[in-house]
């Protein structure tokens, strides 16, 4: 029986494409569009869980990741 888990996906433009990052596992991917970068990241995370040992998963997994905005005065 499969369980669904939710992870963070940070996607940013890089050149002509997009780079995606899952900070909880430090896994990255890329794509030509936002949706492709997100889909490729999902595949990379799924592959990681299929292939990684339980020890590697435990070592890489960060349970708490906080995404926030900051305001910075410049100049």
Answer whether 25's CB lies under 8 Å from 60's CB.
Answer: yes
Mean pLDDT confidence for 43-66: 94
Q: What is the CATH number of domain 1-75?
A: 3.30.160.250
pLDDT at position 2:
80
1 pLDDT band (50/70/90 cuts)?
A: confident
CA distance 31 to 47: 17
Mean pLDDT confidence for 3-31: 96
Mean pLDDT confidence for 30-42: 98
Count other C-beta atoms under 10 Å from residue 73's C-beta: 4
Cα dist. 12→3, 16, 34, 56 in Å?
A: 28, 11, 8, 27
Mean pLDDT confidence for 29-43: 98
Give domain limits for the chain. Answer: 1-75
Mean pLDDT confidence for 1-26: 94
- Judged against a pLDDT cut of 90, whether residue 3 lies above it is answered with no
């Amino acid at each position: 029986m499969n369980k669904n888990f939710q992870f963070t996906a940070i996607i940013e433009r890089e050149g002509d494409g997009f780079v995606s990052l899952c900070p909880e596992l430090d896994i990255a991917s890329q794509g030509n569009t936002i949706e492709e970068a997100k889909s490729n990241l999902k595949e990379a995370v799924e592959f990681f869980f299929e292939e990684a040992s339980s020890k590697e998963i435990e070592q890489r997994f960060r349970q708490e990741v906080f995404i926030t905005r900051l305001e910075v005065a410049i100049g």
